[in-house]
Structure 1
Amino acid sequence: MKQVNALTVAAAVAGALSLAAVTAATPAMAKSVKCYGIAKAGQNDCGNKAGTHSCSGQSKVDYDGGDWKGVASAAACAEMGGQTKPFKGMNPKKKSS
Structure 2
Amino acid sequence: MNAKKMLTMAAVAGALTVAGNMAHAMDMAGMEKCEGVAKAGKNDCASGKNSCAGNATKDNQPGAWILVPAGTCAKIAGGNVVTK
Shorter-chain TM-score: which interval?
Answer: 0.5 to 0.7
SS in 1 for 2:40: coil
User: What is the letter of the counterpart of residue 24 of structure 2?
Assistant: T
Counterparts of 2:35 and 2:50, CA distance in 1: 15
Aligned to 1:72: 69
User: What is the letter of the counterpart of residue 83 of structure 1?
Assistant: N
Q: How many residues align?
A: 62
- Distance change in 2, residues 1:25/1:69 (3 Å): farther
Tell whether 2:59 aligns with 1:59. no
Q: Which runs of 5+ in 2 are unaligned?
A: 1-15
Q: Which runs of 5+ in 1 are unaligned?
A: 1-18, 87-97
| Sequence identity (%) | 39
Q: TM-score, normalised by structure 2?
A: 0.61
Counterparts of 1:30 and 1:64, CA distance in 2: 25
User: What is the letter of the counterpart of residue 79 of structure 1?
Assistant: K
Q: TM-score, normalised by structure 1?
A: 0.54
Kindly report the root-mean-square deviation, in angstroms, between the aligned alpha carbons of the 2 structures: 2.4
User: What is the letter of the counterpart of residue 36 of structure 1?
Assistant: E
Q: Which runs of 4+ in 1 moved over 6 A?
A: none
Aligned to 1:95: none
Give the strand-richer structure, 1 or 2: 2
Counterparts of 2:69 and 2:42, CA distance in 1: 17
